[in-house]
Amino acid sequence: MKAIVCTKYGPPEVLQLKDVEKPVPKENEVLIKIYATTCHIGDVRVRSFDVPFWYKIPFRLYLGVIKPKRPILGMELAGEIESVGRKVKRFKVGDKVFACTGFVFGAYAEYRCLAEDSKHIRNGMVAIKPSNMTYEEAAAGVTTGGITALVGLRKGKIQSGKKVMVYGASGSVGTYAVQLAKYFGAEVTGVCSTINLEMVKSLGADKVIDYTKEDLSKYSKEYDIVYDAVDKLPSSRGKKLLAEKGIYVKVGTDDKNISIKDFDFLRELVEEGKLKAIIDKVYPFEQITEAHRYVEKGHKKGNVVITLERNSKT
């Protein structure tokens, strides 16, 4: 099968299209024919080994000292089940699915095996794709950005009537956070750059703030939840925006609290028209280096999708 292999840490050019062995599902696994994946910021950071200084040693040990131990990157996918292991019960051949691959990656390929009954999102989780989404839309962040936003808002004790600020509202996590906060009945303020104001409004934000033109300090002690969806708002600044008993939440997946029920919950919201994926750009598989170059600039809106076939499948 064809796969994009990360040959070493470095610039986008270290990603090479190669022929590799097609995986065979174990007795509890499904084999997925992948139609769409994404250029996730996590893939970009692994490829370039862009990690905080204090994490460099443990990440080297986990990811690989000289080059990635798991050279096929890719954290999100959507596709069709081609075969199943003999103990698989939840899925059958032909099921249309979406999935996250967790910290074992592997979505930059024509095929990927995943366990049907994974208990930990770090090892990947797979679920039936929303019926009203294309493969491109289903791959675009629901299983990572959507899940991360859901867990973060729960950590902030989201409920109807709360005032919520989403900092970085135009990114993959932020676009889902705005929509989910509105679904839960919150009053939502989205913070983003000038070019993304209208898009964030269209997601349901009650108010938008252009961080390039406004000083956030004028909104001190105003919000019940401040959710930093891009990890760029210093906690000292974020906490000054909180009302009494408000909660500041920094993006990050509290994966111990994630279950397949959360995937099903998000799928239901999508199918009810209450949640949608935002796609900035779509690249063919062969142009994945260009996709990485674009995401690395840090200005993407929502998600950047990679298609393994030119024709969109629904």
Query: Does the residue 97 lie in any domain?
Result: yes
Q: Of 44-58, 72-86, 95-109, give the lowest mean pLDDT range.
A: 44-58
Same domain, 240 and 301: no
Residue 310 has pLDDT above 80, yes or no: no
* Inside any domain, residue 179: yes
Question: pLDDT above 90 covers what percent of the chain?
Answer: 85
Q: What is the pLDDT of residues 21-62, one digit of tens each?
A: 999 999 999 999 999 999 999 999 999 988 777 777 887 888
Residues 176 and 301 in one domain: no
Show the tokens assigned to 168: 């970085």
pLDDT of residue 120: 77
β-strands 207-210, 187-192: how paired?
A: parallel
Rounded to 5°, the CA angle 146-103-55 comes to: 105
Neighbours of 155 (CB within 10 A): 16
- The domain spanning residue 183 has which CATH number? 3.40.50.720
Q: Does one domain contain both 243 and 286?
A: no
* 195 falls within a domain: yes
With CA atoms as reference, report the closest residue to 115 among 215, 30, 229, 213.
30
- Is residue 254 very low, low, confident or very high in pLDDT (cuts 50, 70, 90)? low
Q: How many CB atoms lie within 10 A of CB 227?
A: 31
- Rounded to the nearest integer, the mean pLDDT of the chain is 93
3-state secondary structure of 76: strand
Which pLDDT score, from 0 to 100, does residue 144 have?
A: 93
232 and 104 inside one domain? no
Whether residues 103 and 162 share a domain: the answer is no
Write down the pLDDT at residue 314. Answer: 41
> 243: which residues sit within 8 A by CB, 6+ positions away?
163, 221, 222, 223, 224
Q: Are residues 55 and 182 in the same domain?
A: no
List, in sequence order, every residue forming a beta bridge with 284; answer none if it has no partner: 307
In the 8-state DSSP scheme, what is residue 22? P
Residue 150 resides in a domain: yes
pLDDT at residue 311 tops 60: no
Strand partners of residue 130:
none
8 A C-beta contact, residue 209 and residue 196: no
Q: Does residue 257 belong to any structural domain of this protein?
A: no
Last residue of a domain, one of 204, 233, 250: 250
313, pLDDT greater than 50: no
DSSP, res 153:
H
Backbone angles phi, psi at 107, to 5 degrees: -85, -10
Is the pLDDT reported for residue 255 higher than 80?
Answer: no
Of 84, 70, 63, 64, nearest to 20 (Cα)? 70
Is 149 in the same domain as 207? yes
Q: Do 24 and 8 share a structural domain?
A: yes
Give the pairing type, strands 207-210 and 163-167.
unpaired
Please report how many Cα atoms fall inside a 13 Å half-sphere around the Cα of residue 141, on the Cβ side.
29
The pair of structure tokens assigned to 198 is 């209208």
Q: What is the extent of the structural domain holding 160?
A: 145-250
In a domain, 72, yes or no: yes
Summarize pLDDT for 156-214 with one digit per residue, the tens: 999 999 999 999 999 999 999 999 999 999 999 999 999 999 999 999 999 999 999 99
Of 223, 250, 225, nearest to 235 by C-alpha is 250
Instruction: Give pLDDT tens digits for 130-150.
Output: 999 999 999 999 999 999 999
Q: What is the CATH number of the domain that holds 57?
A: 3.90.180.10
Has residue 264 been placed in a domain?
no
Around 70, how many Cα atoms within 13 Å sit in the side-chain half-sphere? 21
Residues 96 and 117 in one domain: yes
Residues 6+ apart with CB under 8 A from 268: none
In this prediction, residue 253 carries a pLDDT of 59
Contact assessment for residue 84 and residue 131, using Cβ atoms and an 8 Å cutoff? no
Between 60 and 277, residue with greater pLDDT:
277
Domain membership flag for residue 256: no
Please tell me the predicted confidence (pLDDT) of residue 122: 80
* Same domain assignment for residues 32 and 150: no
pLDDT tens per residue, range 217-247: 999 999 999 999 999 999 999 999 999 999 9
The domain total for the chain is 2
Judge whether residue 312 has pLDDT over 60.
no
- Exposed e or buried b for every residue in 28-48, given b needs 16+ CB within 10 A? bbbbbbbbbbbbbbbbbebbb
- Alpha-carbon span 37 to 137, nearest angstrom: 10
133 & 180 share domain:
no
Residue 62: predicted pLDDT = 81
Q: How confident is the model at residue 63 (pLDDT cuts 50, 70, 90)?
A: confident
Same domain, 24 and 115: yes
Give the mean model confidence (pLDDT) for residues 73-86: 97
